[in-house]
Structure 1
């Protein structure tokens, strides 16, 4: 399928699909004219990439996690064990981001409440 249809089915914009490809996260085939040719698997992979990005993982981390999600047997097993061992660092980073965002939200809330009280 062409990029517009893949975009519609995956929920990722055409720009994001190109970005995923640029980052080495997605590798759609090419037809004889050179246009990207997305498979159903590519669409599902784009959805999964979006979910992982929404969860706070970086594209570099996603690049290492994706093979483990796709194939949990054989030669990838050692790679996946290593990747899983690295995930606690990602978890700490995400939790620190949550704490920072929470502090920012609370500061903004205090300003809004203060402004409302001045009225």
Structure 2
């Protein structure tokens, strides 16, 4: 598929897709005429990249995480960079904090909706 189609399917701007390519996060094939050809599997991959980027993870870290996203079991890593481990730990902890924050806000909104529903029922009954 062409870049425009991938952009439409993923909701990602073509410019961002080119950036992902520059960072080595996605790799299209090249047709004889030089055009990029994006395989269907890249739709899911771009969605995963976007999810990580939206969580605030930098593309240089996403490069390390991406191979793990399709694995059910832990990947054996040799010659691991201790600095990378610390960065990944910080990113994971930051994501956990965001998840907790979002869950609290979701629960507060749910309580408010329930209160609105209860108020509507009381005024209908009156």
**Equivalent residue, structure 2, for 1:34:** 34
What is the TM-score normalised by the length of structure 2? 0.63
Distance 2:41 2:96 in 1: 31
Distance 1:51 1:94 in 2: 11
Distance 2:56 2:40 in 1: 25
Distance 1:66 1:72 in 2: 13
Which has the larger displacement, 86-95 or 8-17?
A: 86-95
Q: Structure 2: which 5+ runs fail to align?
A: 99-126
**Equivalent residue, structure 2, for 1:90:** 91
Structure 1 residues 54 and 37: alpha-carbon distance in aligned structure 2, compared to 1, 3 A threshold: same
Task: State the SS of the aligned residue for 2:77.
Answer: helix
Which is greater in Rg?
2
Pair 1:78-2:71 in alignment: no
- Structure 1 residue runs of 4+, over 3 Å off? 82-86, 91-96
**Equivalent residue, structure 2, for 1:48:** 48
Q: After superposition, what is the alpha-carbon deviation per residue over 1:4-26, rounded to whole angstroms, capped at 9, x for unaligned?
A: 01100011100000000001111
Which has the larger displacement, 83-92 or 32-41?
A: 83-92
What is the TM-score normalised by the length of structure 1? 0.66
